[in-house]
């Protein structure tokens, strides 16, 4: 049973919205999306668990002022499973507790991060009144990943071992009771939603390129013909009303503290839709607050 689904990170939505409007963001969005793709691949793989397991995806918890991220947590009958998912690609090397690649000789050891999460989770569970042991695993699920290592570490699960690992989990006794469900719900309630805006590069309304992007290929619409936008690149069609509303949603995402006004949305749409049409769309879909130049839509 899935207790907490993995939401699409707001950070990725923000990077996507900024990607075509700012430069120097490509590495940020590729890194964020690759990690998210690996987590989704892991979620799909874990659908092979029996329905009796209690699964929480994407937990951000805190103990004694220290925050820790758990990709997937599984509540079982006799213990808690902590899965740290990595979407690494390419050849990696592990020697004397040191991780590196041919191009990066000084990587952070992901096992250290996993151990830190396990330690903090154990302390949090004890504080909540639970004394379950924790079994942690580093899950590598990208088939293009390989780790060269001199010793065997049972905490590391490679792509070729995923199916066997899942079968092993499904052979364990289930017999969950109300106490297990109570724990899962408590952990879900303790999940922290952190603002991703602090991790974004600084930007202002004036810096960002204005216009309406095609929803299919993300090139800019040039003009509307009889209330319909037709993308000159891929041929995608969209009504002016839908396109403007989609652009307003993006504006609210990127500038959550800014008011929605006819003039600002006119500028945000690249002045390719008249103020009269924009005001009509806003009046139809939002509530007008105030009068005159200070009026805005909520």
Spatial contact of 35 and 49, defined as CB atoms under 8 Å apart: no
Residue 44 exposed, middle or buried by CB count within 10 Å (0-12, 13-18, 19+): exposed
Q: How far apart are CA 169 and CA 157, in angstroms?
A: 13
Q: Over 50: is that where the pLDDT of 45 sits?
A: yes
* Residue 252: CB atoms within 10 Å: 12
CA end-to-end span of the chain, whole Å?
38
Residue of 43, 41, 11 lying closest to 29 (CA atoms): 11
Q: How far apart are CA 131 and CA 79, in angstroms?
A: 9
Q: Over 60: is that where the pLDDT of 284 sits?
A: yes
- Residue scoring higher pLDDT (41 or 188): 188
Report the predicted TM-score, pTM, of the whole model to 2 decimal places: 0.67
Spatial contact of 72 and 42, defined as CB atoms under 8 Å apart: yes
26-44 residue pLDDT tens: 545 555 566 677 777 888 8
Q: Quick one: pLDDT band at residue 24, thresholds 50, 70, 90?
A: very low
228-281 residue pLDDT tens: 999 988 989 999 999 999 999 989 888 888 899 999 999 999 999 999 999 999
Q: How far apart are CA 168 and CA 173, in angstroms?
A: 11
Q: How far apart are CA 221 and CA 214, in angstroms?
A: 6
Alpha helices in the chain (DSSP H): 10-19, 26-45, 110-128, 162-170, 178-189, 240-254, 262-268, 275-285
Mean pLDDT of 9-26: 68
In total, the chain counts a number of residues equal to 298
Q: How far is CA 22 from CA 14, 19, 28, 198, in A?
A: 12, 6, 12, 17
Contacts for 85 with CB less than 8 Å, ≥ 6 apart: 38, 39, 42, 71, 72, 139, 141
Q: Over 50: is that where the pLDDT of 153 sits?
A: yes
Task: Tokens 């092979």: give the residue.
Answer: 48
Residue of 229, 255, 285 lying closest to 21 (CA atoms): 255
Residues 206, 209, 211, 216, CA torsion sign:
negative
Q: Over 70: is that where the pLDDT of 214 sits?
A: yes
Domain boundaries, the chain: 2-197, 204-297
82-134 residue pLDDT tens: 999 998 889 999 988 899 999 888 888 999 999 999 999 999 999 999 999 99
Residue 206 exposed, middle or buried by CB count within 10 Å (0-12, 13-18, 19+): exposed
Q: Are strands 90-95 and 98-100 parallel, antiparallel or unpaired?
A: antiparallel
Radius of gyration over alpha carbons of the chain, in Å?
24
Give the CA-trace dihedral at 207, 14, 61, 7, to 10 degrees.
Answer: 170
């Amino acid at each position: 049973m899935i207790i907490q689904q993995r939401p699409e990170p707001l950070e990725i939505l923000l990077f996507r919205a900024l990607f075509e409007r700012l430069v120097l963001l490509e590495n940020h969005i590729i890194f964020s999306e690759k990690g998210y793709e690996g987590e989704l691949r892991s979620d799909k793989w874990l659908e092979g668990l029996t329905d009796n397991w209690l699964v929480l995806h994407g937990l951000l918890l805190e103990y004694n002022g220290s925050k820790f991220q758990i990709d997937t947590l599984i509540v079982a009958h006799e213990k808690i499973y902590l899965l740290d998912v990595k979407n690494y690609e390419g050849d990696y090397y592990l020697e004397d507790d040191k991780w590196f690649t041919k191009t990066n000789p000084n990587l952070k050891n992901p096992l250290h991060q996993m151990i830190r999460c396990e330690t903090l989770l154990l302390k949090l569970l004890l504080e909540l009144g639970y004394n379950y042991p924790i079994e942690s695993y580093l899950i590598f699920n990208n088939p293009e990943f390989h780790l060269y290592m001199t010793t065997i570490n049972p905490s590391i699960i490679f792509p070729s071992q995923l199916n066997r690992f899942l079968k092993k989990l499904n052979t364990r006794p289930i017999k969950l009771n109300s106490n297990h469900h109570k724990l899962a719900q408590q952990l879900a309630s303790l999940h922290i939603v952190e603002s991703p805006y602090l991790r974004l590069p600084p930007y202002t309304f004036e810096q960002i390129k204005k216009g309406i992007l095609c929803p299919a290929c993300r090139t800019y619409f040039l003009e509307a013909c009889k209330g319909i936008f037709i993308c000159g690149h891929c041929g995608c069609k969209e009504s002016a009303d839908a396109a403007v509303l989609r652009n307003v949603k993006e504006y609210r995402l990127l500038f959550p503290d800014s008011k929605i006004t006819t003039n600002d949305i006119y500028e945000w749409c690249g002045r390719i839709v008249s103020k009269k049409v924009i005001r009509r769309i806003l009046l139809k879909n939002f509530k007008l607050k105030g009068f005159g130049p200070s009026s805005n839509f909520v």
